[in-house]
Structure 1
């Protein structure tokens, strides 16, 4: 159940970040409202996940997947481009999350 809470936190964080871009500096009320609700909900579900997932592991997964998914949305929806250094950086972040989860004793 804790990983379901973490997944919800990640999805809500990505929604909040995406609508932050759409809010144009909080000048559009509907996207700005979605940002606020998404982030409050995100942190609520993250706090539930943290009841049984170690903080470092949960935050690495949350941050890593959030970065990857937000980057994908920025390319697909907002038509932004990622250059090679950005892609390499994202690969390093994902690699770090994988290493922490599969090889660290902290995750168990």
Structure 2
């Protein structure tokens, strides 16, 4: 499978796991807790596979950056968490940074 597809699936698994962690109420609810653990295991396994072929710093920048953006959207949509102007500006900078890495950097190994 293509490296960026694996990385994308890893990011989605991490976001699902983080959302489940929120729903687990401090790991006191069984099913959300199990989903969180399983999601993190799959996410870390997949990101470790990608790191075998791409620069670690680049992989982690994309993985964590897009994870932050997506979990912020999940928090807003699912949990009604508000994002103020500085938060939105920061998210925009994260997206910009990921785009610079993807479009301009030769460090991705592809």
Same fold, TM exceeding 0.5? yes
Matches within 5 A, 1:1-108: 1-108=2-109
What's the secondary structure of 1:72's corresponding residue? helix
- What TM-score do you get using the length of structure 2 for normalisation? 0.92
- What TM-score do you get using the length of structure 1 for normalisation? 0.93
CA contact (8 A) 2:54 2:107 kept: no
Structure 1 residues without counterparts, runs of 5 or longer: none
Q: Which runs of 4+ in 1 moved over 4 A?
A: none
Count of residue pairs the alignment pairs up: 108
Query: Partners of 1:2 and 1:107 in 2: how far apart?
Result: 10
Structure 2 residues without counterparts, runs of 5 or longer: none
Deviation digits for residues 16-53 of structure 1, max 9, x if unmatched? Answer: 11011101111111101110000001000111111212
